[in-house]
Every structure is written in structure tokens, then in C-alpha cells.
Chain A
Amino acid sequence: MSMRSQIYQWNSQVGTPIASVVGAVNQAGQSVSIFIGGFGNNITKPAETTATQFVVIEDVAVSPSYFVYTGCGTIAAPVTVRGLIIGAEGATPTGVAGNRAYIQVRINTTDYFLDPDNVGNDGIPGAASPYPRSINFQPCFNLYPDVYVLPGQVFDALVTFYATGATGTTVLNSALMAFMKYTLYDGPDALIANKLLEMGISINPGNVDWYKRTLIQSQSAGPMPTA
């Protein structure tokens, strides 16, 4: 099992829940690591590859948002649009249903997604890459080319949200969640992944298998005749 499809799901309301209620300890507007950010489900140490591992991140997604309108006075009772909360009772609507969340990928200290002025941005909007997907919330972004995490690198996914209706435990009450799909290449397959990278070939299971077949074929062809 040296090539393994892996996923990581983050739920902000598991463990230490993220708070977004105005007046409380508020993480809105701040980026939070989905691995070691201290909120939601976390892992024991920063996500990193060892010297014999190679990770290819193939998809990232975060809770969706929906854009509506303001000017309705304060919210009399919790209101949802397509299952997403507009805001807390008594709050003034911001015109956004859901968390208005974004997800950024960071390799070592470098942010992957930039604005056209080469300044790092918040990352992929949940409206473009929603998690979970539904008829109401469909993706218009796919992570291609993939993001490569080379041996020895640290990687992270940072979620930033701006709407204050972010707390919730289910999709129907605007749970802030994130999702990452990646493939882990380990041992010999990580070496092959490095070789493919040198050769300028996309790293995916199909190409790793192709490289293995090429090696086997060249071995079984026997030694080249000498002049």
C-alpha cells in the first residue's frame, strides 16, 4: 500500500468549537489551521512529509456561502437560506448566508493562492468549492494542476471565515467544515514520484504505475549488446 488515497475532514464544532458570536472570543476574520489550529478536530503534530513520503493534494473544499441581500432590519428569528444561517437573532444581516469561508493551502511558509498583484489571499471560497456538495451548492473550481508536497515539507490548510453565523453542528445550521483529498506516496512510490517530477510528468497513480511498468520492461529486455 505505497500509494494511498487519503482524506481529512475538519469540523469546527468538534473538540474546542470555534466561536463566532460577536462579543464572545471571536475567530471570525482570522485564519485557522485545520490540522493544528486549536479549534475543531485536530491532529497531534503539523502535517508534514517524511524523507520517504510524497503528498499530492488533489482537492480542497470548505463550507459554502450564498449571497442574498440586506436592508431587512434586524433578524427577528434565526433565518436560513438554502439551509445556511443568515445571522444570529437580533443581528443585522450582512447579505451573506453561511460562513463566507475560504481555504488556503500553505507549503512550509508559502501561501499557494495569490491575488493577481502577487499578494497572498484567503484562498478558495466555499462558494466555488463547497463542502459538502449539493444541488444548491456545486463546485466551479477544481484543483488542477495538483499541489505537490515534496519530502520533508510541512503543509497546512487554513480556513478563514467572515460571517458571524459560523457556529453549528450540521449542514443545516451552517457548520463550518473543511475537506482535503490527497494521495500519499510512500517508500519506492515516493522515489518514483520524485523521478516523475524531475521528468516533468504529472504525478498521479496512473503515471507511477506507468513508470514501474517501464522499469520492469527495461529489466526484462536484457542487457544491451555491446559493439
Chain B
Amino acid sequence: MSMRSQVYEWSNLAAGGLGLTSVATLRRSVDAQPQVVPANREFDIFIGGIGNNITKPAETTATQFIVIEDIACSAWLGGALQVRINTTDYFQNPDVTDQAGVPGLASPYPRGSSNTLVATSLALTADTNNLLKSFDLYPDIYVLPGQVFQILYSLTTTNADFPAANNTAVVSAFVKYTLYDGPDALIANKLLELGVTINPNNVDWYKRTLIEQQQRSRVAAVATNGGSA
């Protein structure tokens, strides 16, 4: 199992936290409540201190290679996702200035969700829009061995008092990536050197090529030795 499809889902749901004090938890819990996410600030969905987090920054070891294949987030409140590799932001404006990244409107999570929420008295309702994705992360993003990566979520309007006073909206984000480990990470590096796209098919193709080369050289060695192995 050295090539594995992986996902990470983040939401601002965590147990505890009152008012504008937001908290993070390492494990999801039944009594989680939405935490306030301030506007116009980037939060790492892995270790940003809001919602469900992991124990350390997301990084690849010397024997791992990650290919990020999809990112998506809640479409309301101007939510957007940026990918940062080490200290470099992936999505830039044409004038090479910073931007928030892929908007939830372009890559909504969950797929088919709405970009608005409608508040009614003592009831929870959602708009009936069904957003589809207009963004496809292709080419994929490569995280090379030893690199740190962050997925940064930001809002243009805070989720406090949304959609009405005293409400707190739930926001979420999603990342789909493939983790190549051990020998497959070495092959991924080799494909990168060769300029070949890294995906499971091409890694398998490279393995087959290696096997065929070995078989050919074995046959050649037998022929050189006059038919004896």
C-alpha cells in the first residue's frame, strides 16, 4: 500500500469556545459547536487553531511524496483556499501579488451545496442553490520529500452573526491528495526528473518499464553465456 488516496476534511466545529474565543481539537466530538472565524485572515486547516486540527504541521518525510489533486471549501462568506508549499503561495494574481486562492464558489464543498444560508425564526434552512465546481486542480500540486505544506482558509466576512444576529455558520474545507511512500516516492521523484506527470498510472508504468528492462538484461546475459544462466 505505497500509493494511497487520502482526504482531509476541516470544519470550524470543536467542543468548547465561547463568544469570540475559538478553539481547536485533535479529535472530532459529538458536542462540537461552530467556532468563530475572523474575516480576512488565513488559517491553516491543519494547525490553525480553529476546528479540528492535527498534531504537527503537514509535511512529507524523506520517503514520501504528495500530489494534491483537489481542494474545496464552503461557498458562503467569501471563503477561499490557498495552498502554501514551504513559504510560497501557489495561487497568485497576474501581477504576482498575493490572493486568497480558489474561492468556494469555484470549488464548493460539499458539492451541490449553496452559497447562501437563509435564517428563519427557530429553524435552520439553507438556500436551494446547487453549486457545481467550475475549477479543476490540474495540473496537480506536488509536495516533494521534506517540504512543508499548508492549506490556508480565509473568509471575507466573519461567520459570526451569519446568516442573522446570534447565529454562527459552519464552514468547512476539503483536500484530496495521493500519498506515495517508500519505493513509489522514489519513482515519483524519477518521474518528476523525467517531466512525466505523477499519477498512479504513470508510477505503475515506470515499474513495468523497470521489470521489462531487468527481463531483457537477464535474457541478454543468458545469450552471452551461451545459453546457460
Chain B 96-133 near chain A by CB (<8 Å), digits 1 or 0: 00000000000001111100010101111110001011
Contact present for A69 and B122 (CB under 8 Å): no
| Closest Cβ–Cβ distance, residue B125 to chain A (whole Å) | 6
Q: Given that A68-B170, A72-B124, A200-B204 are contacting pairs, would A140 and B8 also be in contact in the complex, using a CB cutoff of 8 Å?
A: no
Does residue A76 face the partner (Cβ distance < 8 Å to B)? Answer: yes
* Choice from A69, A94, A127, A164 contacting B110 with Cβ under 8 Å: A127
Determine if A128 and B201 form an interchain contact, defined as CB atoms under 8 angstroms apart: no
Contact A96 B170 (CB under 8 A): yes
Q: From residue A54, how far is it (CB to closest CB) to chain B in Å?
A: 14
- Residues of B with C-beta under 8 A to A141: 5, 7, 70, 176
Question: Is the pair B170, A116 in contact by a Cβ cutoff of 8 Å?
Answer: no
State whether A97 touches B110 (Cβ < 8 A).
no
Contact A145 B32 (CB under 8 A): no
CB proximity of A113 to chain B, nearest CB, Å: 6
The yes or no answer to B220 lying at the interface (CB within 8 A) is: no
Q: List, in ascending order, chain A residues with CB within 8 A of B6's CB.
A: 113-114, 116
Task: Say yes or no: A125 contacts B7, CB within 8 Å.
Answer: yes
- Digitize A93-104: 1 where CB-to-B-CB distance is under 8 Å, 0 elsewhere: 111110010000
Given known contacts A64-B110, A112-B1, A140-B111, is B7 in contact with A124 (CB within 8 Å)? Answer: yes
The reply to whether the CB of A162 lies closer than 8 angstroms to some CB of chain B is yes
Complex CA gap A164/B29 in Å reads 11
Contacts of B46 in A (CB 8 A): 116-117
**Closest partner residue, chain A, to B187 (CB atom):** A200
Residue of B nearest to A150 (CB): B1
Q: Is B216's beta carbon under 8 Å from chain A?
A: no
Interface residue SS majority, chain A:
loop
CB pair B13–A66 under 8 Å, yes or no, is: no
Having A64-B110, A71-B164, A125-B7, one finds 6 other A-B pairs with CB under 8 Å, namely A29-B28, A69-B34, A72-B119, A95-B169, A114-B4, A116-B46
Q: How many A-B residue pairs have CB under 8 A?
A: 181
Is A143 in contact with B5, judged by CB distance below 8 angstroms?
Answer: yes
* Distance in Å: Cβ of A121 to nearest Cβ of chain B: 7
Given the known interface contacts A107-B1, A140-B176, A145-B178, the answer about A117 and B109 at a Cβ–Cβ threshold of 8 Å is no
Please tell me if the beta carbons of A113 and B163 are within 8 angstroms of each other in the complex.
no
Contact of A144 (CB < 8 Å), options: B126, B200, B208: B200
CB nearest to A146 among chain B residues: B5
Q: A66, B113: Cβ atoms under 8 Å?
A: yes
Interface size bucket, A side? 35 or more
Residues of B near A162 (CB, < 8 A) are: 28-30, 32
> Contact at A69–B170, with CB atoms within 8 Å?
yes
How far apart are the CA atoms of A121 and B169 in the complex, in Å?
24
- How many residues of chain B have a CB within 8 Å of chain A? 67
Q: How many angstroms from the CA of A76 to the CA of B179 in the assembled complex?
A: 46
**B117: chain A residues within 8 A (beta carbon):** 68-69
- A28 lies within 8 A of chain B by Cβ: yes
- Taken together as a complex, chains A and B put the C-alpha atoms of A37 and B220 apart, in Å, by 56
Whole-angstrom distance between the alpha carbons of A67 and B28 in the complex?
Answer: 15
A125 touches B58 (CB 8 A): no
User: With A116-B54, A144-B200 known to touch, is A68 a contact of B126 (CB < 8 Å)?
Assistant: yes
Complex interface: stretch among A39-47, A129-137, A169-177, A183-191: A129-137
Residues in B whose Cβ lies below 8 Å from that of A144 = 5, 200
Closest chain-A Cβ to B115's Cβ sits at a distance in Å of: 12
Contact indicator B4/A81 (Cβ below 8 Å): no
Contact flag A79-B124 (CB < 8 Å), given A70-B168, A140-B72, A140-B133: yes
B34-62: CB near A (< 8 Å → 1, else 0) gives: 10000000000010000000111011000
Which of A95, A121, A138, A142 lies in contact with B13, CB distance below 8 A? A95
Q: Which of A67, A74, A113, A201 has the most CB of B within 10 A?
A: A67
Chain B residues with CB under 8 Å of A94's CB are 13, 31-33
Q: Which residues of B contact A136 (CB under 8 A)?
A: 112-113, 130
Q: Is the CB of B123 within 8 A of A72?
A: yes
| A145 B5 Cβ-Cβ under 8 A | yes
Chain A residues, CB < 8 A from B207? 199-200
**Do A117 and B124 touch (CB < 8 A)?**
no
